[in-house]
Chain A
Amino acid sequence: MNEINRIYPFAAIVGQEEMKRGLMLNAVNPKLSGVLIRGEKGTAKSTAVRGLAALLPEIEVVDGCVYGCDPGDVTTMCLECRDRLEAGEGLPRMRRKMRVVDLPVSATEDRVVGTLDIEQAIKKGEKHFEPGVLAQANRGILYVDEVNLLDDHIVDVLLDSAAMGVNTVEREGVSFTHPANFILVGTMNPEEGELRPQLLDRFGLCVNITGIPDPALRVEVIRRRAAFEVDPDEFARQWEAEEDDLRRRIVAAKALLPKVRVSDDILFLIAKVAIEMGVDGHRADLVMMKAAKTTAALKGRGEVTEDDVRGSVDLALLHRMRRKPFQDLSMDREKLRGAIGEPQSGHARGHGQPHSHSHHR
């Protein structure tokens, strides 16, 4: 119990709105396929991820199942649970917090996808599959710090599983598949090397963060952190109302999401932006649409507006644009603004003021 209280409240994080938005969007809609946080050290990246997990409502799982299957959903169940269900057995249920599974940079492929327990296999003549990180992360958050330093091979495996929602193991005499639906959160410091474009593209959203340049806010960061360290429980109590509010918004947005509608005008706007930005393929369109829908849901609206799209282009497109040598990010941002800022004559302008995302606090 104490463990949970030690987590710095998500709502108490100062600034870094874009990152928080990226995480919240994924929390509401895991189909956004993850978020990549690019930025310097010490910018509350992992604090935010842990805070998010603590914030999210508890999930119902099959007690004792490694994969944490949802007892209410046959389609996403692991084979064992499904067999038990089909055999007419009841599945024991329990509620628990969403897990944050850390993937260390040094992780081997065995650890990630799971492996055969060799000792047992050879001594007893039994094959026993030892589930890996992907199994643990099912229905939780998989947090990969410094994803750009991870072996490319492992990143491939990760992103593949994330995209399919399934982990397929084909190695050393094991052929096995299990569900692996997780929110993938990666962080990287671009100074230490970039991620391959192919891998970048697989992250649904990407946010770029920097330290906060405003002295007053910086002071606030220090003050809150100090208060948290002195008395975490008291600090958590102070932020409880805010946290509850956020939690309610997420729950409400999740419920609303399937009902959010997107008009053709909005879809054409999305297509136009994607074409103008010259992004590869169609993944960007899909992500923009999903992000806009989720944004609308978070705002409690049943209809996507142009503003929702504007709010999501940065997150969905910046990492997918082709950059020329010696061209910096701000130019890309400007180009994006140009593409999204001037709606075609057919589209009415005036859904609120452009670019003023209503952040809480």
Chain B
Amino acid sequence: MGKYRRFTFPFSAITGQEKMKKALLLNAVNPRIGGVLVRGEKGTAKSTAVRALARLLPEIEVVAGCPYNCDPGDAGLICQSCRDRLGDAQRIEKVLRRVQVVDLPVSATEDRVVGSLDFEHAVRYGRARFEPGLLARANRGIIYVDEVNLLDDHIVDVLLDVAATGVNVVERESVSYSHRAEFILVGTMNPEEGGLRPQLIDRFGLCVQVEGVTDPARRVEIVRRRDEFDADPLGFIARWREKERQLREKITAARCLLPTVTISPDLLELIAELSMEALVAGHRADIVMAAASSTIAAWHGRNRVTEGDVYEAADLVLFHRVREAPPPSPEQPGASPEEQEDSPEQEEEDDSREQEPPEQPEEAPPLPDQESLEPEDQKQQEDQERDREKEQNTPPPAAPEERVFAVGQPFQTKRISYDRDRMLRKGSGRRSRTRTASKAGRYVRSTMQRKNNDLAFDATVRAAAPYQPRRRRGGTAIAIETGDIREKVREKRIGNFLLFVVDASGSMGARQRMVETKGAILSLLLDAYQKRDRIGMVAFRGSAAEMILPPTGSVEMAHKLLEELPTGGKTPLSAGLIKAYEVARTHLYKDSDISPLLIIISDGKGNVSAGADKPLAEARRVAEIIRAEERIKTLVVDVENNGFLTFGLAGELAAALGAGYYKIDDLKADTLVRAVREVE
């Protein structure tokens, strides 16, 4: 078993994406910088660049045959077996080899990452031996995680831990072992696919954002080069060999120069100021920035850091560390009076609304203090709320036919949580703990049931042990029979699937109600993000309902769509419910482990039906169908204003669904937790 070769697009042949290339090269010169996170849209040479970097790096000296790539020049840090060999006065052979780029596939299991008991060896020779994992191979190299945001949380924890200490300590399945694991962590992610925990983000020294090139001439160049490469990879690589060599020499030169680079106290102060301005947490940013500045100086062949170097470094170091209030920075909402009830309800019938004079078709102007309202401080959020109250005295704008409302200010929602359950589930997330049927997750105990091909070697050996004297061993140290085999039972946290069913009809446009609603959805989304939930969104308006966000882990994407969601038209409530039901059913089909939770956000005033029934009667009938599907949980968020005249239709809908019911204001209160628990 070994490696299957593949051709690598040369690093120097990558067009554009200068920042990304720079960040990677700086790490190549100085591994202390601590890795790169490449964020960006799909198809922007992210992976290509990382793989190309490996080819570019100068070779390192390692102990021949050592699985941990020990450095023969550093006797203090070598692994156990190398030390034993030294102790036995054996000569250690040195070899030069290329820096390893270890791909960490999203599907990798924990055993493979940290290493595990070599049971082949154990069965044959009856001795426990540690089998090194990916972290061992990555020592003194690069770990590359494509789509790092999709990696199992469990693995992320391990990576973080090892990256921080530089040592991999394994204590599992009767193996106890530790070895050095110092590596450059390079990750790529598409933010649309879901976020990354701040803790892990901070671990990456640098971060760059990549985008597609918009200059047609360069786009053409990209296509040309790729085409040439695909047609004749060997020829293409040969043509770029000289450029690659020059770049490699530059890296080597910069490495030599790096230890002599000095940085003046003034510039160190500048670094500290920049960090403080960006409100970064902790001091890693300062340290990385200093290292990156020196490396930039070395790259340019200088032994003194200049101010320009510091600014260039700050750009790469602070990008992902700048703290903002919530992850997707929301627009400041316009004025949104909610309690005001001096005009009668005007949305009972669609027709009546059309005759309403469009008083203020424009969106409410942003608050005057928006500039100063940098999202950094809770207090300012309160200020803003006070402002909002002030603005309640101005007359509310009426709803025109179709408009797009801003997203209201998000707030901290109360936890939605499911209790731990004993069912087997797959999926990943942080909301609930559960037994998992996939091989990811922590090994908690073993079972005799065979379903997973997920061998629990320690338990299997224990099961076989008592029979060893009587069994015949065919050349192995332990005789194991089928009946001895035990499998692992694993546990992990799973997320939920929250499907937002949003009323985007004209009635929601009244008095900025949509702003509030969008704010409420965003709040729930942020909560969902922290719990690694999957989210989806169905909106209904006019005559139809549409799935506007297929199930995803990306709050950012949801936020973008939420912003774009237009409001206007009639209220096809039953169509919305039907669509939601279909989506939930599909989800159950795909992943029967995770119960979808429908969060219906509406005033319940359906006025269009899909069939021949009256709209409300039809909605009730659909509600009953949904209620009959036990695996689908529902919640209704009523957005009807409090006032003299309320219809309480959303309440009726909730009753028909057997759903938890609460008013939009309740979201801020503790009641949500209870509401969801009751649903459970």
Which of A's residues lie within 8 Å of B, judged by CB? 31, 75, 78-79, 109-110, 113, 115-116, 118-119, 121-127, 129, 149-151, 153, 156-157, 160, 164-166, 168, 170-179, 191-198, 201-202, 258, 262, 264, 267-268, 270-272, 274-275, 279-286, 289-290, 324-326
**Given A129-B1, A191-B582: A113 in contact with B107 (beta carbons within 8 A):** yes
Binds A, one of B158-166, B540-548, B632-640: B540-548
Contacts of B582 in A (CB 8 A): 191-192
Cβ distance B648 to chain A, nearest Cβ, rounded Å: 29
**Given A156-B150, A325-B566, A326-B546: A193 in contact with B107 (beta carbons within 8 A):** no
Contacts of A196 in B (CB 8 A): 193, 550, 552
Whether B42 contacts A198 by the Cβ 8 Å rule is yes
Whether B453 contacts A118 by the Cβ 8 Å rule is yes
Interface of B is mostly: mixed
Nearest 5 CB-CB pairs, A to B? A281-B43, A283-B43, A125-B123, A280-B41, A271-B219
Whether B548 contacts A325 by the Cβ 8 Å rule is yes
Whether A122 contacts B222 by the Cβ 8 Å rule is no
Contacts of B454 in A (CB 8 A): 172
Binds A, one of B2-10, B69-77, B340-348, B413-421: B2-10
| Bound-state Cα–Cα, A191 to B583, Å | 9
The reply to whether the CB of B539 lies closer than 8 angstroms to some CB of chain A is yes
CB-based A-B contact count at 8 angstroms: 204
Whether A173 contacts B105 by the Cβ 8 Å rule is no
Whether B1 contacts A264 by the Cβ 8 Å rule is no
CB within 8 A of B212: which of A179, A194, A281, A326?
Answer: A281
CB nearest to B502 among chain A residues: A325
Whether A201 contacts B42 by the Cβ 8 Å rule is yes
CB within 8 A of A270: which of B121, B193, B223, B438?
Answer: B223
Contacts of A284 in B (CB 8 A): 43
Contacts of A290 in B (CB 8 A): 227
Whether B134 contacts A178 by the Cβ 8 Å rule is no
Whether B586 contacts A192 by the Cβ 8 Å rule is yes
The reply to whether the CB of B331 lies closer than 8 angstroms to some CB of chain A is no
Whether A178 contacts B4 by the Cβ 8 Å rule is yes
Contacts of B504 in A (CB 8 A): 325
| Bound-state Cα–Cα, A174 to B119, Å | 12
Number of interface residues of B (CB under 8 A): 87
Whether A122 contacts B123 by the Cβ 8 Å rule is yes
Cβ distance B571 to chain A, nearest Cβ, rounded Å: 14
Binds A, one of B376-384, B441-449, B474-482: B474-482
Whether A280 contacts B212 by the Cβ 8 Å rule is yes
The reply to whether the CB of B192 lies closer than 8 angstroms to some CB of chain A is yes
| Bound-state Cα–Cα, A176 to B517, Å | 51
Contacts of B214 in A (CB 8 A): 275
- A-B pairs with beta carbons under 8 Å apart, 12 shown: A121-B455, A160-B105, A171-B112, A175-B1, A179-B4, A194-B547, A194-B550, A196-B193, A202-B42, A271-B223, A279-B212, A326-B542
Whether B453 contacts A267 by the Cβ 8 Å rule is no
The reply to whether the CB of B564 lies closer than 8 angstroms to some CB of chain A is yes
Cβ distance B405 to chain A, nearest Cβ, rounded Å: 13
Chain B 191-234 interface mask (CB, 8 Å, partner A; 1/0)? 01100000000000000000011101101101110110011000
**Given A118-B453, A125-B123, A286-B223: A272 in contact with B216 (beta carbons within 8 A):** yes
Cβ distance B52 to chain A, nearest Cβ, rounded Å: 14
Contacts of A127 in B (CB 8 A): 1, 120
| Bound-state Cα–Cα, A94 to B457, Å | 42
**Given A165-B6, A173-B112: A258 in contact with B590 (beta carbons within 8 A):** no
Chain B 117-152 interface mask (CB, 8 Å, partner A; 1/0)? 011111110000001001000000000001100100
Give residues 84-109 of B contacting A (CB, 8 Å). Answer: 103-109
Whether A170 contacts B105 by the Cβ 8 Å rule is yes
CB within 8 A of A281: which of B41, B482, B552, B583?
Answer: B41
| Bound-state Cα–Cα, A198 to B41, Å | 9
Contacts of A262 in B (CB 8 A): 227
Cβ distance B506 to chain A, nearest Cβ, rounded Å: 14
Cβ distance A243 to chain B, nearest Cβ, rounded Å: 30
Contacts of B134 in A (CB 8 A): 170
| Bound-state Cα–Cα, A75 to B4, Å | 9
The reply to whether the CB of B496 lies closer than 8 angstroms to some CB of chain A is no
Cβ distance B647 to chain A, nearest Cβ, rounded Å: 26
| Bound-state Cα–Cα, A50 to B105, Å | 32
CB nearest to B109 among chain A residues: A171
Whether B439 contacts A151 by the Cβ 8 Å rule is no
| Bound-state Cα–Cα, A155 to B213, Å | 28
CB within 8 A of B590: which of A149, A168, A170?
Answer: A149
Cβ distance A79 to chain B, nearest Cβ, rounded Å: 6
**Given A122-B455, A125-B123, A258-B231: A171 in contact with B439 (beta carbons within 8 A):** yes
Which of B's residues lie within 8 Å of A, judged by CB? 1-6, 40-45, 103-109, 111-112, 116, 118-124, 131, 134, 146-147, 150, 190, 192-193, 212-214, 216-217, 219-220, 222-224, 226-227, 230-231, 426, 438-439, 453-455, 457, 460, 474, 476-477, 480-482, 485, 504, 539, 541-542, 546-548, 550-552, 561, 564-566, 582-583, 586-587, 589-591
Whether A289 contacts B227 by the Cβ 8 Å rule is yes
Known pairs A31-B230, A115-B453, A271-B223 / 9 extra A-B pairs, C-beta < 8 Å:
A119-B485, A125-B121, A170-B107, A171-B107, A178-B4, A197-B42, A267-B223, A285-B223, A326-B542
Whether B587 contacts A193 by the Cβ 8 Å rule is yes
Cβ distance B20 to chain A, nearest Cβ, rounded Å: 13
Whether A282 contacts B45 by the Cβ 8 Å rule is yes
Whether A271 contacts B193 by the Cβ 8 Å rule is no
| Bound-state Cα–Cα, A262 to B123, Å | 60
CB nearest to A323 among chain B residues: B548
Contacts of B546 in A (CB 8 A): 325-326
| Bound-state Cα–Cα, A268 to B216, Å | 6
**Given A124-B476, A325-B546: A175 in contact with B44 (beta carbons within 8 A):** no
| Bound-state Cα–Cα, A31 to B190, Å | 24
Whether B1 contacts A271 by the Cβ 8 Å rule is no
Whether B118 contacts A173 by the Cβ 8 Å rule is yes
Contacts of B438 in A (CB 8 A): 109
CB within 8 A of B193: which of A193, A198, A272, A282?
Answer: A198
Cβ distance A298 to chain B, nearest Cβ, rounded Å: 18
Whether B44 contacts A325 by the Cβ 8 Å rule is no
Contacts of A197 in B (CB 8 A): 42, 192
Contacts of A165 in B (CB 8 A): 6
Cβ distance A101 to chain B, nearest Cβ, rounded Å: 19
Whether A173 contacts B119 by the Cβ 8 Å rule is yes
| Bound-state Cα–Cα, A165 to B7, Å | 11
Cβ distance A322 to chain B, nearest Cβ, rounded Å: 9
| Bound-state Cα–Cα, A268 to B150, Å | 35
Cβ distance B514 to chain A, nearest Cβ, rounded Å: 13
| Bound-state Cα–Cα, A264 to B216, Å | 11
Whether B485 contacts A122 by the Cβ 8 Å rule is yes
Cβ distance B517 to chain A, nearest Cβ, rounded Å: 15
Whether B106 contacts A281 by the Cβ 8 Å rule is no
Whether A325 contacts B112 by the Cβ 8 Å rule is no
| Bound-state Cα–Cα, A194 to B586, Å | 10
Whether A283 contacts B42 by the Cβ 8 Å rule is yes
Whether B112 contacts A78 by the Cβ 8 Å rule is no
Contacts of B561 in A (CB 8 A): 325
| Bound-state Cα–Cα, A260 to B107, Å | 39
CB nearest to B585 among chain A residues: A192
Whether B112 contacts A282 by the Cβ 8 Å rule is no
CB within 8 A of B476: which of A125, A153, A157, A172?
Answer: A125
Whether B119 contacts A286 by the Cβ 8 Å rule is no
CB within 8 A of A267: which of B3, B111, B150, B220?
Answer: B220
Cβ distance B110 to chain A, nearest Cβ, rounded Å: 10
Cβ distance A201 to chain B, nearest Cβ, rounded Å: 5
| Bound-state Cα–Cα, A116 to B457, Å | 14
